[in-house]
């Protein structure tokens, strides 16, 4: 506990120190980045101990403060979320050193590093808090610090708008959380997590919905995701990596923590989460496919992955409510592991995107191309991330998806009633998401890094510096390591997983059965990993064979086969938009593509253009009308605002009098 607290304290300390340094002095970035790095080194020890079951009794501490008791705790669930918070925090900080260097001239890096440290500390605090007040305080600090970080380039209009959208969305979400905690805390006067709950089934259901909406807004599930594709691209890359990889996961943490207060889950909770998860997954990846901005695409792909995580939780909840340890264990294990995995590859991909933007000064996918020759390290790391996020072996993405799949297969085979229909939806949905993710990331990698440059931007690209590449290579290595040792990790954390599932199941399942299921999955995953290793081995063998075959033969270089067309130019290449167009057209139910075009006319056509824009259905269909209505209504209140100070004083006096009467009533 001391270690974990000091890790939080160090971040705060470094954050404050950096504020007092001279503006953009030589030490600013060093001190600023030191906070998350040291915090990671110190904090990972207790987190890993808790997860591996060495420190198996959850640590709990509380102090009496003037405003009530403040308590902290570290159990399996907190520890699991601490891993990405601390790990990716440290790597993003290293990345940030290099990434922020060009901004030295005209930006205060001190503030940025202060906020970065605050964000890291507050996220850690969110998962450690065990009393409602502290939790909400940390939650709010997290939201605000990330809001200011998004507004880092506030001279740009998009960044300003994005940060406002984010601020409004996150506070709307928080308002649901306040209502939820009020309901949850009605039976206790201390608002300590231990005393929450004890609700009637009806109220528990209401709390569940409030939690899904409130925490779901932070997590970015459909249709509350609208802030995500605005805010993540606008933030500096190391921040968007942290936000997309880790911060949105605090929403998942919140849902899981809340579930443990709510008593035994009825089946409809599981069905709801599976439905929401699959829709978020499919629609998220479809929107990702339609994006032209590299970082915006990654932001939408976060919606997709949150969808997979939520689906896994749904499968787990369904397992608890129908009493199937296989479903419960594998659903939760898969989604929790995906939390960590997604942090790794999404962090990696964001860093890759940042490195591309750094080298070429553009994020437009259709303007890039051929970067693999100019930025070989970035390209390779991005490729690793792309394979991982498509859920393909031998990288880490498949491990978590495999667990959810196996859970759904086992469940569908053994249950055989209405619930199994939901599991079929999970199998079909995950398969569709996987296929579309492959489409999405072959497009991203293929158009950005392969082929010929499509504009002037990538022609002058240069590889990024070591401090930008180092975290990426580390994360890519991590993707391999988790992919190949996933079975061992699951086996080692079986007890911790059982410990996480137990409170949610209200002790309704036998922990031994849960462990047995996880061991079963770990065994089958081990064989699976052997298969993946066999692929790697065969690749090496065939590559050797190929080398032998080609040695001494004539190997020529020529232009790409152009099917007889003379003088192909790089602008004739397939673009990202044309690559995605058939899929977008096919799924036009979910998204609206606005097309404007003027076809070429006559024998010597002068002007012709074609323009498409894919709009976010939920933004256009739900939020815009609502906010416009609110805006219209509120604009009527403008009459109150006329700039005469006397009248403002009158308002205050009137309010006080009304309040007085109300109290004396």
Partner 1 sequence: MQQWLELATVLLFLSNLAMLGLSELGACVRTVAFQGILLGFITLIVRQEGLSVRLLILSVMSIGLKGFVFPFLLLRSIREAGVRREVEPFVGYVTSVVGGLLMLAVSMWISARIPATATAMSSFQIPVALSTIFTGLFLVVSRRKALNQVIGYLVFESGIYMFGITAVGEIPFLIELGVLLDVFVAVFVMGIAMNHINREFDHIDADQLSSLKG
Partner 2 sequence: MNAQSIVYSASALLFSPLLLGVINRVKAIFAGRTGQPLLQTYYDLSKLFRKGAVYSTTSSWVFRAGPTVGLASVLVALAITPFGRVPALLNFPGDLLLLAYALGLMRFFTVIAALDTGSAFEGMGASREVQFSALAEPAFLLCLAALACKTQSLSLSTIISRMNFGLWAKDGPALAMIAVAFMAVLLAENARMPVDDPTTHLELTMIHEVMVLDHSGPDFAFILYSASLKLWVMGALLIGIILPVRTGNILLDFPATLLGMIALALLIGVIESVMARLRLLRVPQLLVGAGVIAVIALILILR
Q: Which of 252, 202, 311, 298 is nearest to 80 (CA)?
A: 252
User: 585 preceded by cis ω (within 30°)?
Assistant: no
Q: Which 390-429 residues touch partner 1, going by CB under 8 A?
A: 421
Minimum Å gap between C-beta 201 and partner 1 is 22
Stretch that binds partner 2, among 51-59, 212-220, 389-397, 464-472 (CB under 8 A): 389-397
C-beta of 67 vs 589, nearer to partner 1: 589
Q: How many CB atoms lie within 10 A of CB 589?
A: 9
Q: Give the side-chain half-sphere CA count within 13 A for 16.
A: 6
Task: Tell how far CA 92 is from the center of its chain.
Answer: 14
Q: Please, what is the minimum distance in Å from the beta carbon of residue 589 to partner 1?
A: 6
For residue 384, state whether it binds partner 2 (rule: CB under 8 A).
no
CB closer to partner 2, 512 vs 543: 543
Torsion of CA 634, 640, 644, 645, to 10 degrees: -90
The CB-of-339 to partner 2 minimum distance in angstroms stands at: 21
Q: Which is nearer to partner 2, 323 or 582 (CB)?
A: 582
Q: Which does 574 bind (CB under 5 to 8 A by kind): partner 1, partner 2, none?
A: partner 2
* Shortest separation between residue 3's beta carbon and partner 1, angstroms: 52
The interface region with partner 1, picked from 172-180, 211-219, 298-306, 581-589 by CB under 8 A, is 581-589
Place of tokens 């190391």: 238
Contacting partner 2 within 506-545 (CB under 8 A): 520, 523-525, 527-528, 530-532, 534-536, 538-539, 541-543
Nearest partner of 515 among 502, 528, 530, 506, judged by Cα: 502
Residues 431-460 that bind partner 2 (CB under 8 A): 431-432, 434-436, 438-439, 442-443, 445-447, 450-452
- Sign of the CA dihedral 614, 619, 620, 624? negative
Residues 588-617 touching partner 2, rule: CB under 8 A, are none
Of partner 1, partner 2, none, which one sits near residue 428, judging by CB under 5 to 8 A according to partner kind?
partner 2
Q: Among 175-183, 365-373, 380-388, 585-593, which window interacts with partner 1 (CB under 8 A)?
A: 585-593
Tell which one of 16, 178, 323, 574 touches partner 2 (CB under 8 A).
574
> What does the alpha-carbon distance between residue 213 and residue 193 come to, in Å, rounded to a whole number?
20
Token digits for 434?
């996987």
C-beta of 428 vs 649, nearer to partner 1: 428
Residue 218 or 454 having the CB closest to partner 2:
454
Q: Which of 657, 340, 393, 437 is nearest to 537 (CA)?
A: 393
Assign 74 to helix, strand or coil: strand
Residues between 349 and 378 that touch partner 2 (CB under 8 A): 369-370, 372-373
Measured from the CB atom, is 541 or 630 closer to partner 2?
541
Is there a contact between 53 and 11 (Cβ–Cβ < 8 Å)? no
Which range binds partner 1 by CB under 8 A, 33-41, 160-168, 282-290, 582-590?
582-590
Number of residues that bind partner 1 (CB under 8 A): 4
Distances (CA, A) of 497 to 68, 75, 194, 267, 511: 32, 11, 20, 21, 9
467 contacts 98 by C-beta, under 8 angstroms: yes
Residue 177: closest CA among 74, 261, 119: 261
Q: Output the smallest distance, CB 425 to partner 1, in A.
A: 10
Contact (CB, 8 A) for 68 and 153: no
d(CA 435, CA 438): 5
Figure out which of the listed residues 393, 483, 499, 511 binds partner 2, where binding follows CB under 8 A. 393
Q: CA 510, CA 629: separation in Å to the nearest integer?
A: 52
549 or 566, CB closer to partner 2?
A: 549
**What is the footprint of partner 1 within residues 588-607 (CB under 8 A)?**
588-589
Strand partners, 74: 59
Q: Which residues bind partner 1 (CB under 8 A)?
A: 421, 586, 588-589
């Amino acid at each position: 506990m001391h270690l974990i607290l000091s890790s939080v304290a160090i971040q705060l300390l470094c954050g404050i120190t950096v504020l007092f340094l001279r503006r953009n002095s030589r030490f600013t970035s060093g001190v600023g980045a030191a906070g998350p790095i040291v915090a990671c080194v110190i904090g990972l020890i207790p987190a890993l101990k808790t997860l591996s079951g060495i420190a198996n009794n959850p640590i709990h501490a509380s102090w009496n403060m003037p405003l009530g008791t403040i308590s902290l705790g570290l159990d399996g669930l907190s520890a699991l979320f601490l891993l990405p918070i601390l790990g990716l925090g440290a790597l993003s900080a290293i990345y940030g050193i290099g990434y922020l260097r060009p901004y030295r001239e005209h930006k205060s890096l001190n503030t940025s590093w202060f906020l970065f440290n605050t964000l890291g500390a507050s996220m850690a605090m969110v998962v450690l808090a065990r009393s409602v007040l502290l939790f909400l305080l940390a939650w709010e600090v997290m939201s605000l610090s990330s809001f200011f970080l998004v507004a880092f380039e506030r001279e740009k209009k998009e960044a300003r708008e994005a940060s406002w959208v984010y601020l409004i969305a996150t506070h709307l979400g928080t308002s649901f959380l306040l209502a939820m905690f009020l309901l949850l805390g009605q039976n206790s006067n201390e608002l300590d997590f231990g005393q929450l709950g004890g609700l009637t089934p009806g109220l528990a259901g209401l709390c569940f919905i409030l939690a899904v909406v409130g925490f779901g807004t932070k997590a970015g599930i459909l249709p509350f995701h609208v802030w995500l594709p605005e805010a993540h691209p606008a933030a500096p890359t190391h921040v968007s990596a942290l936000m997309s990889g880790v911060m949105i996961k605090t929403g998942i943490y919140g849902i899981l923590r809340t579930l443990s207060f709510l008593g035994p889950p009825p089946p409809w909770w599981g069905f709801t989460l599976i439905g929401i998860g699959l829709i978020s997954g499919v629609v998220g990846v479809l929107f990702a496919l339609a994006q032209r901005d590299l970082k915006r695409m990654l932001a939408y792909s976060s919606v997709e992955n949150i969808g997979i995580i939520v689906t896994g939780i749904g499968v787990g909840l369904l397992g608890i409510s129908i009493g199937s340890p296989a479903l419960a264990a594998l659903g939760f294990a898969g989604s929790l592991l995906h939390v960590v995995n997604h942090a790794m590859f999404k962090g990696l991909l964001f860093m890759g995107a940042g490195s591309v933007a750094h080298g070429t000064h553009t994020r437009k996918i259709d303007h890039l191309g051929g970067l693999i020759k100019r930025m070989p390290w970035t390209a390779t790391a991005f490729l690793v991330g792309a394979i991982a996020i498509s859920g393909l072996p031998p990288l880490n993405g498949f491990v978590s998806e495999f667990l959810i799949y196996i859970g759904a297969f086992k469940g569908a085979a053994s249950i055989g009633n209405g619930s199994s229909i939901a599991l079929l939806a999970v199998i079909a949905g995950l398969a569709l998401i996987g296929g579309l993710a492959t489409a999405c990331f072959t497009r991203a990698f293929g158009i950005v890094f392969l082929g010929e440059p499509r504009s002037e931007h990538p022609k002058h690209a240069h590889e990024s510096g070591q401090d930008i590449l180092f975290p990426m290579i580390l994360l890519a290595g991590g993707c391999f390591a988790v992919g190949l040792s996933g079975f061992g990790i699951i086996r080692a954390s079986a007890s911790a997983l059982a410990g996480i599932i137990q409170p949610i199941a209200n002790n309704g399942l036998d922990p031994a059965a849960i462990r047995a299921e996880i061991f079963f999955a770990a065994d089958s995953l081990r064989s699976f990993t052997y298969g993946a290793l066999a692929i790697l081995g065969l690749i090496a063998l065939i590559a050797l064979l190929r080398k032998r075959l080609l040695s001494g033969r004539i190997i020529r270089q020529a232009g790409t086969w152009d099917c007889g067309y003379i003088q192909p130019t790089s602008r004739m290449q397939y673009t990202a938009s044309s690559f995605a167009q058939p899929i977008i057209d096919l799924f036009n139910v979910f998204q609206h593509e606005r097309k404007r075009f003027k076809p070429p006319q006559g024998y010597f056509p002068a002007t012709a253009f074609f323009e498409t824009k894919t709009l976010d259905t939920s933004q256009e269909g739900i939020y815009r009308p609502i906010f416009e209505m609110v805006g219209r209504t509120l604009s009527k209140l403008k009459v109150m605002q006329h700039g005469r100070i006397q009248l403002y004083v009158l308002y205050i006096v009137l309010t006080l009098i009304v309040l007085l009467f109300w109290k004396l009533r």
